[in-house]
Structure 1
Amino acid sequence: MTTEKRRARRIAADEAHAWARNLRLNNPHAKLTLSMASLYVDGDGYCFVSIPTLSDDTELSTQTVRNRLAWLEQIGAIARLPQWIDEYGRRNGECKGKRTSDLIRLMLDVDPDVIEAAARGEFEGVSREVSPMPQTGLNPASETVSPAPALRQPYDSAEGLNSEPEPESSPKSPSRGREGDREDLQESEPADFEPAWQSWPGHQAMRRDLALAEFRLLEPDKQRLCRAAIVPFVEMLKRLKRDAVPNFHLWIRQRRFEEFPSARLPDPAPERRWIDGYELAGLQLAARIGSRPLRL
């Protein structure tokens, strides 16, 4: 038996392509885009490929490719990390230099059933909205995105498989039409969100805006429970020796935190403050009185 540390798992392009090919998304354009992107995967499951390149590979328009990538991100099949090129030609994710193509992470460790269920819209309130592209001018206000692209399109149909953008309609607000949610989403972030986000494993490669939108829809007591349930959830994953962690917004949407109803946040440390003025004078007087010898 050797004690040599096992090397980290490396993702091969054929493995990533097989994963994409086996997903049932009921969306031919999205599946084609995902399949082509998987051919550019590196050993860590990341793809650095431009939209024009994917447009050439899929024979779809660049706008259609953008729409499908945004949809794939929302169902949890991929995650996109903004990238820049600095003055020395080095790629980075720190907003240094000129904006370039996103780094695409294939979510190979996510349960395929979860991705397929999100694609079918079987989870309550599955979001179909597409966030604006970060590149200035690539997504003008007059252009909108279909909330349910090609959902009824049969796989053997040739209709709509050309390179023209698909018919689009006005996007819905992130509140999904529920009254009062629009005002709630304009308020400041809930106090428990940022600590919960920072404690979620792998949040660096996930969509913070989607998680925040789902978190805001929770009642205040549920927000606190959601934050408190992260610690026992992570401990459970460690006990079960599972490395796959779901996207935070899907975990909230599915209300998985309710599996830990007894989860509690630790009591905050008592607040410390300086004493001065009359309080300090009173403390000094009490100290002098206490230091006097006792007379019998």
Structure 2
Amino acid sequence: MNRVERILYIFLTLINGKHITVTDFTEKTGKGAKTLQRDVKDMNLFFYQSDEWHATDTEIKHKPSPKGTVYYLDNYKFTYDSYAVLGVLLQIKSLTPYLHTSVMKLLEKLKQGSRIEEAKTIQDVINHFKPREGKVLPGKQLMAIQTAIRQGVLIDVTFTDQTKSTIVPHSLIYMNYNYWLTYEEQDSLKSVDVRKIDKVEITELEFKQCYARDVVTLEVHKDIKSSLCEIYTVIDERPSSHNDYLIIDLAVTELDAYYIAYQHTPHVRILGPAKYINGFLDRMKEIIAHYER
């Protein structure tokens, strides 16, 4: 792993509220404690010298633990100018439909610099940015969709072609340089580029389960099961005949299934529907043929 990749690994891990130990760093990068110390020192220098980050008093700190020294990201305060930082955080967290607790804390601190001191929840923050007719302002769609998924409620969407629909949002991921929303409508699962969504309204209607017909069945390793369940709606889970594996049914589209199978190879295998398996194998064969010619 080169230096750029190491920096990104450290940043993405810490910004998601996780800690890094020397052991973790070594296993992931092949480098030791001194390299980690140098990388952290350079990152802290960047935070200090950057106007946007300096205003947040952001710093990577370390503390002792039973597992050895652990590194973590600390933020003390946020100003109105730090909304740029929040935008980056939301982009990073677009890989999961849940706003991490660290991002929730950022919102709580950011509101203090934007004259919305009376806000108590994430919904209050969203309401603050609504115009009088109650619509979410353009540019707030991602945040509204993520909140709806986390709360388990339906959303009213107006697409750029001005068609309107009430849908069940299931997942929001960043793929192929765009944000994609997977949602349920009339017993089927669909995906849409969020750039084709003009407005989003969060309703108070809860959804308890998925009624879509074409769900995807996967065999997944236990080590990555929790991360998949955090990102996608899990319909069912059961043991597998293979050790350390589980079988789960996910509310995802065919494209989502391909993405999961590719990203997590060899820890994920598509079990059904059969047309998805065949479609994925055909794509893999196309890739192999492309490199063999």
Shared fold by TM > 0.5? Answer: no
Structure (1 or 2) with the greater strand fraction: 2
Structure 2-normalised TM-score?
0.30
Over alpha carbons, which structure has the higher Rg?
A: 1
The one of the two structures with greater contact order (alpha-carbon pairs below 8 A, sep at least 6) is 1
